[in-house]
Amino acid sequence: NAGVIQTPRHKVTGKGQEATLWCEPISGHSAVFWYRQTIVQGLEFLTYFRNQAPIDDSGMPKERFSAQMPNQSHSTLKIQSTQPQDSAVYLCASTPTDNNQAPLFGEGTRLSVL
Amino acid sequence: GQQVQQSPASLVLQEGENAELQCNFSTSLNSMQWFYQRPEGSLVSLFYNPSGTKQSGRLTSTTVIKERRSSLHISSSQITDSGTYLCAMDPSSGSWQLIFGSGTQLTVMP
């Protein structure tokens, strides 16, 4: 079991470019979460999928951010027209929803917007 | 205001000393967790939904849900314990949305 896999580990974009972050949850886990970590705000919840359906996106910025889970093996977080304030570590986690288990986190994608 | 107050923000210990980390929650919570964040960024779950006192090796978590507080005790600290420790709460049943504390940066010196 390779754990939650996030790619790329590091991404550098220019202001205004698009960034797509990938997450492969642990096989069999039906809940997938995205979090963002910055020095100033700490770790913040972004969005949550269960059985590929979006359940709670209350933490997502209303503009430029979108997340999808087209199949059970991966989820994507897309940021359009990236801004310097989007620079952060984006963490993905998964957990089986039918058991009371702690979410398992990937190693994150460090996004730097220049 | 912040729903999770974590202290101290940073802590420097000599190897072998003990550490006590605290989290206080301003709202009711369904469950809480303690995480360790490695220097490279990955998060490791230490304790999940503990109530009362639970021990894992040199780590002890003491949580009183109705008093909205939890502590993490590290005994006989080792250099490899260095990193960031985070508490997080799940504010309501079924929300699955963790609210994290600001973390404690622990440095253990030789």
A54-92 per-position pLDDT tens digit: 998 999 998 999 999 999 999 999 999 999 999 999 999
Decide if A48 touches B, using CB distance below 8 A: yes
Q: How confident is the model at residue B94 (pLDDT cuts 50, 70, 90)?
A: low
A11-27 per-position pLDDT tens digit: 999 999 999 999 999 99
Share of chain B above pLDDT 70, in %: 93
- Please state, in angstroms and rounded to a whole number, the distance separating the CA atoms of residues A65 and A52: 18
Q: How confident is the model at residue B1 (pLDDT cuts 50, 70, 90)?
A: low
B32-68 per-position pLDDT tens digit: 899 999 888 889 999 987 678 999 999 999 998 888 8
Determine how β-strand B104-109 pairs with β-strand B83-90.
Answer: antiparallel
Q: How confident is the model at residue A99 (pLDDT cuts 50, 70, 90)?
A: low
Q: What is the pLDDT of residue B105?
A: 95
Which residues contact residue B92 at a Cβ distance below 8 angstroms, ignoring those fewer than 6 apart? B30
Nearest CA in chain A to B47: A102
B43 contacts in chain A (CB < 8 Å):
91, 93, 105
Which residues contact residue A87 at a Cβ distance below 8 angstroms, ignoring those fewer than 6 apart? A38, A111, A112, A113
Average confidence (pLDDT) over B72-97: 87
Decide if B100 touches A, using CB distance below 8 A: yes
Q: What is the pLDDT of residue B95?
A: 62
CA angle A109, B91, B38 (to 5 degrees): 30
Q: What is the pLDDT of residue B71?
A: 95
